[in-house]
Amino acid sequence: MFLVGLPLAFMSIGACSNQPSGPPFTFASGGNAALGSGGSYNGAGGFTGTGSGGVGNPNSGGSSSGGGPATSGGGPGSGGAEPCEDLAPPYDPEWPEATCESWANEASACVEDWFKDYCDITCGRCVPSTNEGTGGSPPEVCEDLAPPYDPEWPEATCESWAIEAEACGEEWFSNYCDISCGRCVPEDGSGGPPMPPDCSGENLPNVSGGDGFTTRYWDCCQPHCGQFDGHKCNRDGTTRTGDNTSACSGGGAFACYDEAPREVSKCLSYGHIAKSNPNCGQCYRIQFTGQGNSNANDIGSKLIQGKQMIVKVTNTGSDVAGNQFDLMIPGGGVGQFDACSNQWNQSSLGERYGGFLSSCKTGTHADKKECVRKECMKIPSGSARDGCIWFVDWFEIADNPKFTSQQTNCPF
């Protein structure tokens, strides 16, 4: 067999969408993306710059089709009342040979709003109770049969092949990973490719311009802006301190735990960032594009597509790129400076650049999330640990996701 370009999973440093209204839709392509972060912060510790990196995955774009739990004999929640069929979308003169399977696997249209009334079976939204309307008998066995072991990508799962390598549309892959590719849904409705949330009901403004990407860090040091606004805390991370010397320089001023990110709604969160030439206290609204910076097809980045954050500038980084926001996320990596080992009495904090996620490299996306969740338990309970769990549940362990941004008023 021949292989599509193989993704190599490299670690991050540091950190529902407005998609086209009609067919077909694919994510923007890209080339090999080198991860750029590392370095140090001015006066406050941290990292970002060129300290770590790697070659991105094949970046041809597209997210896998699929859907939520299916009800046998009908659409989701229909109890069999609605027909379960592959209703083809309107004829497209630019793609006359397209079938439901083509739209689902090649154009990844199942996640598009305009496509919600079409190709229910192929998109995994329902499972027919009989063979009627299926265009033929369904597969006798519905399973994720993994392709042959590849020594160049030993950790690859069906989910990885389907989403990161986009192999579902390849001829050699037609007999593998049926569930992850959305070709079938088990009788219990489980499985299928993960999908980003629908954010249309939250009335969030569309964010345009200001293309950039996030990294992540939490070094427990006093943030740079704390020298001016007094937002710095004692060792407990909650009570304010008048100490003017950062814990990363031997003093008693630490980052405050309330600077950890927190969820406002399914599609909106608040957080704090470091950036180059910091305008301390300025806030930005960012909207995630569905692509990763170091791996365009990063699963987590696709799953937060369209989600937004409002972030406040609290720190600086001497090597932070002009279009880079370094999110303060507990467990996200201490970087060049480390006051966390001292503050938390904990030496096992993952890789210096990458944090807990760097220790959770194998298994499915869900496996990696649960691995990071367990690592979060090393952080003291309260806002800091909650911020680490936020990275798992709301941020979908996205690895350096891209965004668009614009300045906004600070709501916090």
- Separation between Cα atoms, residue 10 and residue 56, nearest integer Å: 7
- Separation between Cα atoms, residue 200 and residue 204, nearest integer Å: 8
In 220-362, where does DSSP find H-type helix?
Answer: 226-229, 299-303, 340-344
Return the sign of the alpha-carbon dihedral for residues 262, 264, 267, 270.
negative
In 319-382, where does DSSP find H-type helix?
Answer: 340-344, 365-376
State the catalytic residues. Answer: 219, 326
Q: Is the peptide bond before 194 cis (omega within 30 degrees of 0)?
A: no
Phi, psi (deg, nearest 5) at residue 271: -160, -175
Contact 306, 290 (CB under 8 A): yes
- Separation between Cα atoms, residue 245 and residue 412, nearest integer Å: 26
DSSP 186-250: -TT-----------GGGTPPP--S--EEEEEE---BPPTTHHHH---B-TTSSSB----SBGGGT
CB within 8 A of 154, min separation 6: which ones? none
- Separation between Cα atoms, residue 189 and residue 251, nearest integer Å: 55
Q: Across the strands, what pairs with 263? A: 269
- Separation between Cα atoms, residue 240 and residue 237, nearest integer Å: 8
Nearest to 16 by CA among 269, 197, 270: 197
Q: At 314, list the tokens.
A: 């609290």
Q: At 240, list the tokens.
A: 């304010």
Tokens 């206290």 belong to 281
Nearest to 304 by CA among 398, 369, 237, 183: 398
CA angle 366, 182, 81 (to 5 degrees): 105
